[in-house]
Amino acid sequence: MARSSSWRPRMQMSFPAWTSTLGKTLTSTLPRTAVGSGWTSAPPASACSCLSLLTNGMAKTWRTFKSLSRVKGKCTTDHISAAGPWLKFRGHLDNISNNLLIGAINIENGKANSVRNAVTQEFGPVPDTARYYKKHGIRWVVIGDENYGEGSSREHAALEPRHLGGRAIITKSFARIHETNLKKQGLLPLTFADPADYNKIHPVDKLTIQGLKDFAPGKPLKCIIKHPNGTQETISLNHTFNETQIEWFRAGSALNRMKELQQ
């Protein structure tokens, strides 16, 4: 069916800070009434925002991570970043991040959107706990099961954990597209060399990821798990990064790397 000449696409976008001028230009040129949005003028502040740059640099060893959630069973991109009414915020990363992992089941209590805060020991919503960690400078990881991130190619499922302070997603296995999306956003998608190691990590543990100084294709990383009783275990983590993707990681994202190459 041919579209009428008056048809305009709905546009709600997030822009990195270094493209803020471009972002303002694009926002100012949005149609006065976006199709199906109910807007009568430019999009409201709750629907569109600029983003700041995130960098990793020449990371060597990442210390004192917490496990935000150990996800049980199936976890699609819709479990990670729900659709429906949340889509009105898809151009505002901070707002839409309030749906992070709200559909995923936490193995500790068998509930969705209920995880232990390792500092306060209280259970609360996943996004609130992630924001608490970010505010207090605590980096975190997500522990996943098989085929983590299956379903759609939803970019927000990778953007949101990065925005709220996540640094790595460690699983038994990944859906291929989501794994690549995580790499593009500067996160570390890693898999257990021994899938049974999934059961060794708990919210109160402290995690250290080693081997990033010599991060290279085909070379596993190590994770040291320090338990509250003073004992520790070392496990091996695999990855599928190639040289180009490692450059994305060091720059903080694929987009950051593109910017570096233009300078």
- pLDDT at 164 exceeding the cut of 70: yes
Range 143-164 average pLDDT: 95
pLDDT digits (tens, 9 = 90+) for 80-130: 999 988 888 888 899 999 999 999 999 999 999 999 999 999 999 999 999
Chain-centroid distance of CA 153 in Å reads 13
Range 212-216 average pLDDT: 93
Q: Which residues pair with 191 in a beta bridge?
A: 171, 238
Q: Which of 27, 155, 153, 146 is nearest to 93 (CA)?
A: 155
* Cα–Cα dist 27/12, whole Å: 8
Q: What residue spans define the domains of the chain? A: 65-261
Percent of the chain at pLDDT > 90 equals 67
The band of 39, judged by pLDDT with boundaries at 50, 70 and 90, is very low
Which amino acid is located at 156 in the chain?
H
Alpha-carbon distance values, 219 to 41, 67, 210, 216 (Å): 52, 23, 12, 6
The whole-model pTM stands at 0.81
Range 200-211 average pLDDT: 94
Pairing of strands 123-124, 105-106: unpaired
What pLDDT score was predicted for residue 17? 43
What pLDDT score was predicted for residue 23? 36
Burial zone of 189 (CB within 10 Å; 0-12 exposed, 13-18 middle, 19+ buried): buried
CATH topology of domain 65-261: Aconitase; domain 4 (3.20.19)
| From 40-54, 191-205, 214-228, the region with the lowest mean pLDDT | 40-54
- pLDDT at 242 exceeding the cut of 80: yes
* Cα–Cα dist 2/251, whole Å: 43
What pLDDT score was predicted for residue 143? 98
- pLDDT at 58 exceeding the cut of 90: no
| From 105-114, 230-239, 247-256, the region with the lowest mean pLDDT | 247-256
| From 3-12, 52-61, 82-91, 166-175, the region with the lowest mean pLDDT | 3-12
What pLDDT score was predicted for residue 47? 58
